[in-house]
Amino acid sequence: MNTVTRAHLAETIYAQVGLSRNESADLLETVLARISSALEVGESIKISGFGTFSVRQKGRRIGRNPKTGVEVPIMPRRVLVFRPSQVLKAHVNHLAPPLDNGADE
């Protein structure tokens, strides 16, 4: 199983777009920073044909330690949620033509 890393994404940008390696890395960091800052303030990020990232508020609740069975309060928090698009779901289930990721591997 391969993991997609920032270095791999930057190298793909370099190969496909034609920017320098430093410019490709800077572009990637700018996009990731923009996505992060939008999520921090509660905005949703929709990437067409891929999915939507959003932040949801979870309320306070009571959980249970699975080892001891002791009840533990779980404090309210914000959680990151990803909802894949129908295109991505179809691709993962081999029901659609492959997504063009631009990489020749």
Q: What's the pLDDT band for 18 if we cut at 50, 70, 90?
A: confident
* The predicted structure's pLDDT at residue 28: 96
Q: What share of the chain is helix, strand, coil (3-state, %, to 5)?
A: 35, 25, 35
Determine if the pTM surpasses 0.95: no
Residue ranges of the chain assigned to CATH 4.10.520.10: 44-98
The CATH number fitting domain 44-98, selected from 3.40.1390.20, 1.10.3720.10, 4.10.520.10, 1.20.1250.20: 4.10.520.10
Q: What number of CA atoms fall less than 13 Å from residue 89's CA on the CB side?
A: 7
pLDDT above 50 (res 67): yes
Q: What percent of the chain has pLDDT over 90?
A: 83
pLDDT above 70 (res 96): no
Helix (H, G, I), strand (E, B) or coil at 53: strand
* The predicted structure's pLDDT at residue 97: 64
**What is d(CA 53, CA 47) in angstroms, rounded to the nearest whole number?**
8
